[in-house]
Amino acid sequence: MTNEQPPLPSITPLYEPYYRYTRQHELRMQRCRDCGHVRYPFAALCPVCHSEGAEWSRMSGRGAVASFAICHQAFHPWFQSRLPYNVALVDLEEGPRVPTNIVGVRNEDIRIGMSVEAEFEDVTDEITLVKFRPRGPGGKQDNPAH
Amino acid sequence: MRVQHLRAMAAVVGVGKSVIGRNLEVDALTLMSHAFKAALEDSGLKKEEVDGLIVNTGGAECDRLPQLLGIDVQWSSQTWSHGRMSGIILEWAAMVVHAGLARNVLCIAGYSSHAVRTRTVRGGSGEAYRAGGGPHWEAPEYGIIHPGTLPALAFQRYCHLYGYKPELLGAVPVAQRKHASLNPDAVYRQRITLDDYKKARFVVEPLRLYDFAVVNDGAVALIVSSADRAGACRKPPVYLSGMQGMQGGKEWVIFSRSNMGVAQQSLSRDARRVNRAVYEMAGVEPKDIDVVEIYDSFSPEVIFDLEDFGFCPPGEALGWIQGGRIEPGGDLPVNTHGGHLSEGMLGGFNHLAEAVRQARGECGERQAPNARLVQYTLGPGVSIIFRGG
């Protein structure tokens, strides 16, 4: 099992620019050229105004934990030696709510509303994942909006 | 949208189930054949009178199944192999018989663990690894692989927003196991206590072992006929009094609800789905419903649906269900067969079968008293109100 590879995302044409930027340690998402809406999941059309024009706009990387859960059972061999691990949803300042992991904090100290910032984890030469770390001293700058 | 003219246009006239069990080593087609034969006998129809077919599960194609079952169909179709299709299949059948495209439509689903094992990719569903993410918003690269991770995330947020201790969720599996203890078909019939629940291991915290559906084999068949023909069948017809289709949109996330799931954006984060169409069509209100069968692959779905379908105000269901309210003899019995958590996972088809049987009053020990209006609900807005004759 020690040679087991982590599960990796399939890169579709819609997602190729996202991963191209994360390789450079930049978090970018599609921003509508017409109405400014930030699209997630990535799509051919803006769900608000149906514009097809979008630019890969750089995100602040700041957000807040919307929810989290702790996995105590591995459903892929890669995670067997990593139990228990956390999974989370983070609300980016720009709007999208993305799936991720929270790093740099013990699972029992993760809180909904916790302010976090993006961190880049190079998994392979091709794939860099965006994870989030508590922001500020001890991650105590909670977002009261949550 | 007002569709009262479709009220009770069709009825379920036959219900049948195969044996339900874990690792039966029987293929799904065999189980489906048994379910069909039972449903046919229940209806009193001859097999030659079944002229429509909708198949829920893959591996049993809608052009092959008629050969195996010995029926000639003039209208057939098939859906993706997901339980979320269960309710709309019945609704679709109702519309088909109402339109006159077929007279008696067989709706059928069958599951076998053999098929599950062969489609599994290294643990969890192979579907989780499809390009662009899994069908329940799985993201394997972050370890979001089991579909139960999604309701765990939603339920954690629910508890945060409304100030609950997550362990209160135990009231759902405890109640359903109590129902299942009265159901000879159920895979798990041993009653459990809240203490047993709290001692069970976490799978995806805050969800514990008892919050997850059974993985099992089995099949269910239902036969739908137009209301004007239904009276000639063996048993009293159970009418589809109201129905509401599957919803989709920016706030729709499977196993979750508004503002609690993956990928929702701030556009309408406080929006709340309003599930009124099913009641308007049936001409009833939530307070009139005698029994509810809720699609429950994971316990939180029961909480979410009780709120989304107006049985409780938002944020109150987890408190409201405490103290036996959804148990046998409670104010609102929920999942009287034990649901996916205890009777077995048959993609909601077992809920539909139970709804019909409760509305007929033929459920024996587990029969809810005076059950005339029985409602089926499924997270993405799907609902049917069944009315006994």
pLDDT for residue B271: 47
pLDDT for residue B119: 43
Question: Could you tell me whether strands A28-32 and A38-39 are parallel, antiparallel, or unpaired per DSSP bridges?
Answer: antiparallel
Selected for mutation to probe chain A from B120, B141, B256 (highest A CB count within 10 Å) is B141
Please answer whether residues B79 and B315 qualify as being in contact, where contact means their C-beta atoms are separated by less than 8 angstroms. Answer: no
Positive or negative, the Cα torsion across B46, B78, B373, B100? negative
Selected for mutation to probe chain A from B116, B122, B142, B267 (highest A CB count within 10 Å) is B142
Q: Which of B152, B153, B265 sits opposite A96 (nearest CB)?
A: B265
- Provide the edge-to-edge strand list for the sheet that holds A38-39: A38-39, A28-32, A54-58
Please answer whether residues B17 and B185 qualify as being in contact, where contact means their C-beta atoms are separated by less than 8 angstroms. Answer: yes
Q: Which residues face B208 on adjacent strands? A: B202
User: CB-based contact (8 Å) between A83 and chain B?
Assistant: no
Along chain A (146 residues), what's the average pLDDT of each consecutive run of 10 residues? 78 94 98 95 93 97 97 94 97 94 98 98 96 77 55
Q: A67 and B139 in contact by Cβ < 8 A? A: no
Query: Could you give the angle at which helices B300-308 and B149-162 cross, rounded to 10 degrees?
Result: 60
Chain A nearest C-alpha distance from B116 (Å): 14
Q: What is the CA radius of gyration of chain B?
A: 20
User: CB-based contact (8 Å) between B209 and chain A?
Assistant: no
Please answer whether residues B103 and B225 qualify as being in contact, where contact means their C-beta atoms are separated by less than 8 angstroms. Answer: yes
ipTM for the predicted complex: 0.93
Nearest to B223 by CA among B29, B41, B98, B387: B41
User: CB-based contact (8 Å) between A47 and chain B?
Assistant: yes
Q: Which of A15, A38, A87 sits opposite B143 (nearest CB)?
A: A87
**Which residue is listed with tokens 């020690």?**
A2
Residues A71 and A4: their CA atoms lie apart, in Å, by 19
CB atoms within 10 A of CB B76: 20
Residues 6+ apart with CB under 8 A from B98: B6, B9, B10, B226
Q: Which residues face B284 on adjacent strands? A: none
Assign 3-class secondary structure to A11-56.
Answer: CCCCCHHHHHHHHCCCCEEEEECCCCCEECCCCCCCCCCCCCCEEE
CB atoms within 10 A of CB B264: 25
Determine whether A123 is exposed, middle or buried from the number of CB atoms within 10 Å of its CB (0-12, 13-18, 19+).
Answer: middle
Q: A15 and B144 in contact by Cβ < 8 A? A: no
Residues A88 and A103: their CA atoms lie apart, in Å, by 10
Residues B23 and B271: their CA atoms lie apart, in Å, by 43
Q: A87 and B153 in contact by Cβ < 8 A? A: yes
pLDDT for residue B335: 98
Selected for mutation to probe chain A from B144, B161, B269 (highest A CB count within 10 Å) is B144
Q: B203 and A73 in contact by Cβ < 8 A? A: yes
pLDDT for residue B136: 80
Q: A127 and B141 in contact by Cβ < 8 A? A: yes
User: CB-based contact (8 Å) between A142 and chain B?
Assistant: no
Residues B47 and A59: their CA atoms lie apart, in Å, by 62
Which chain A residue is nearest to residue B140, measuring alpha carbons?
Answer: A7
- Stretches where chain B sits below pLDDT 50 are 118-123, 267-271
pLDDT for residue B247: 85
Chain A nearest C-alpha distance from B27 (Å): 25
Residues in chain A within 8 Å Cβ distance of B126:
none
Q: B250 and A47 in contact by Cβ < 8 A? A: yes
